[in-house]
Amino acid sequence: MKSQAGKTFIKLMIAIIIIAIIVIVGIYYSKNMIQKTQLQDFKTNMLLIQVKAKEVLEQVSFEKNKINNNDITLETLKEQYLVGTPLTSEMLESFPQQVKELINSENLSEYYYFTTEQLNELGINNAKSDGEDGYYIVRYIMDTDASVEVINTKGYEGKYTIEQIELLEN
């Protein structure tokens, strides 16, 4: 009888160890999956902002052709079409050093930050732009190749731009 009780106890311990291993592996993979999902959500929000801002910038580029024909100035077009709030040097001071290095303070007029309300107006409802989740900043580059750069001040694991975040996925 005693030898049977010993075998049952050993079988029970082996079963508990196997269950514990399965639980540990499951927790590891679920944490990894959650991190990947957070990264994807963050990147998706930044890409959506980039697309919407690019649409606005293309409208300004299109309207820029009318500047010579009418009494329209580039500043008027910017005020009329560009979405966001112009970034100030005071606000720039509150950002992490890595973000300050990404922003060209000589061309500060190209940078706009988006409030949560402005993001909602663009149809981006799941992104928050506040101090806690970081601010979304857009640089409208109005040269011959009108382009947009998106920066988040909180970032993801020390990465603040779309290009940097794409490198995390590789």
Per-residue CA distances from 13 to 1, 18, 19, 39 (Å): 19, 9, 10, 39
For the chain, the straight-line distance linking the first and the last C-alpha, in angstroms and rounded, comes to: 59
Q: What is the pLDDT of residues 32-87, one digit of tens each?
A: 899 888 888 888 888 998 998 888 888 887 777 766 666 677 777 787 788 888 88
Q: Which neighbouring-strand residues pair with 156?
A: 159
Entry pTM: 0.76
Q: What is the pLDDT of residues 133-169, one digit of tens each?
A: 788 889 888 776 778 888 888 888 888 888 888 887 7
